[in-house]
Amino acid sequence: MKTLVVGGAGYIGSVVTRLLIQDGHEVVVLDNCSTGHADSIPAGVRFVQADISAVGEVLAGADFDAVLHFAAKSLVGESVAHPSLYWHTNVIGSRALLDAITEHGVPRLVFSSTAAVYGEPDTFPITEDSPTKPTSTYGATKLAVDMMITNECAATELAAVSLRYFNVAGAAWGAGERHTTETHLIPIALDAVAGRRDKLNIYGDDWPTPDGTPIRDYVHVADLARAHVLALTAAHPGEHLICNLGNGNGFSVKQVIAEVERVTGLEMPVVSGPRRAGDPTRLVASADRARERLGWEPQHDLRQMVADAWEFSNSVAAQEPR
């Protein structure tokens, strides 16, 4: 397929771009490099450095078969502090993209949705039919985009898949997480054991969980990438298919810290601080629908995610000493 990867210079988009190429698809990347890096895009891929609002210029007359849409602001804490940035980038940006897709007749869309749309669920595991009550601005904006896509599919022949990722981790095919402002647990924990950071701050140890720290479902970025390739052909025209992507296992912050210490053989300097605004207590996925509709099966466990992220973070640190 001829694909446009919007946000392909970012963490997940750059990994998916590599898999699309390996599988023989043609890829064009559009990204404004606000949080991504141009050098994360593999050699030979056409790169348009532009804001998402300019996507129509890339789609015009180009006969794309599919758009994969990763471009977004995606930090829970930042979204609570700066709602306008999130509504503009995520919702107005996605509206421009949907309008361009419809205008230029692109038949397929794969969208990066999130577990953050569910908020604080009462029952586990979380299915796609669980109530959507986001606790952060970020989750609210992603839910709004999912709703726009549902409406667009009902009114056109667009075949769309929203993939609701749980916590993505690990590295694959030479690409991984290298955010300038890093807020994610595993890369911060790896920097803390490596001495690239003073310590890891646990955001609250008084949550209603067995060890007092929040629980998340971690999924390897290589497994996630495979789901995107499968999603390209999963929906029929006019359908909006929504699938959770997670391993179905919950790990607390303290359990992740212990895994990082086991994999690296190093001890982590840790302090406990206040809770972070917008954080839910527990997020654990049911990915049964992804199994049924995409034929997807995650292959990697938390240990492999930490090991691959560790190798990647060390290679980045060797090239870009802080």
Annotated catalytic residues are 138
Q: What is the Cα–Cα distance from 129 to 31, expressed in whole angstroms?
A: 32
* Opening angle at CA 51, ends 50 and 55, nearest 5: 85
Q: Which of 3, 4, 5, 11 binds ligand NAD (CB under 6 A)?
A: 11
Q: Which of 3, 79, 114, 247 binds ligand NAD (CB under 6 A)?
A: 114
Work out whether 285 is an interface residue with ligand UPG (CB under 6 A): no
Work out whether 16 is an interface residue with ligand NAD (CB under 6 A): no
Segment near ligand UPG (CB under 6 A), from 28-36, 41-49, 108-116, 306-314?
A: 108-116
Work out whether 165 is an interface residue with ligand NAD (CB under 6 A): yes
Q: What is the Cα–Cα distance from 126 to 131, expressed in whole angstroms?
A: 9
Work out whether 242 is an interface residue with ligand NAD (CB under 6 A): no
Work out whether 126 is an interface residue with ligand UPG (CB under 6 A): no
Whether residue 53 contacts residue 94, with contact meaning beta carbons closer than 8 Å, is answered with: no
Q: Residue 76 binds which one of ligand NAD, ligand UPG, none, with CB within 5 to 8 A depending on kind?
A: ligand UPG
Own/partner pairs, 85-88, CB within 8 angstroms, 24+ separation:
86/137, 86/138, 86/141, 87/137, 87/141
Whether residue 115 contacts residue 246, with contact meaning beta carbons closer than 8 Å, is answered with: yes
- Phi then psi for residue 123, to 5 deg, are -125, 150
Work out whether 35 is an interface residue with ligand NAD (CB under 6 A): yes
Helix, coil or strand: residue 131:
coil
Work out whether 143 is an interface residue with ligand NAD (CB under 6 A): no
CB of 143 to ligand NAD, least distance (A): 12
Size of the site for ligand UPG (CB under 6 A): 21
CB of 267 to ligand NAD, least distance (A): 26
Assigned token pair, 175: 């690409």
Segment near ligand NAD (CB under 6 A), from 6-14, 129-137, 151-159, 236-244?
A: 6-14
Work out whether 276 is an interface residue with ligand UPG (CB under 6 A): yes
User: Smaller CB distance to ligand NAD: residue 173 or 266?
Assistant: 173
Helix, coil or strand: residue 309:
helix
User: Smaller CB distance to ligand UPG: residue 40 or 113?
Assistant: 113
Residues 6+ apart with CB under 8 A from 200: 188, 189, 192, 257, 268, 269, 270, 271
Q: Taking each helix axis from N to C terminus, what angle separates 302-319 and 253-264, rounded to the nearest 10 degrees?
A: 60
Q: What is the Cα–Cα distance from 286 to 293, expressed in whole angstroms?
A: 13
Site residues (vs ligand NAD, CB under 6 A): 7, 9-13, 31-36, 51-52, 70-72, 74, 89, 93, 112, 114, 165, 167-168, 179
Residues lying near ligand UPG in the complex (CB under 6 A) are found at 74, 76, 114-116, 166-167, 183-185, 188, 200-203, 214, 216, 253, 276, 279, 283
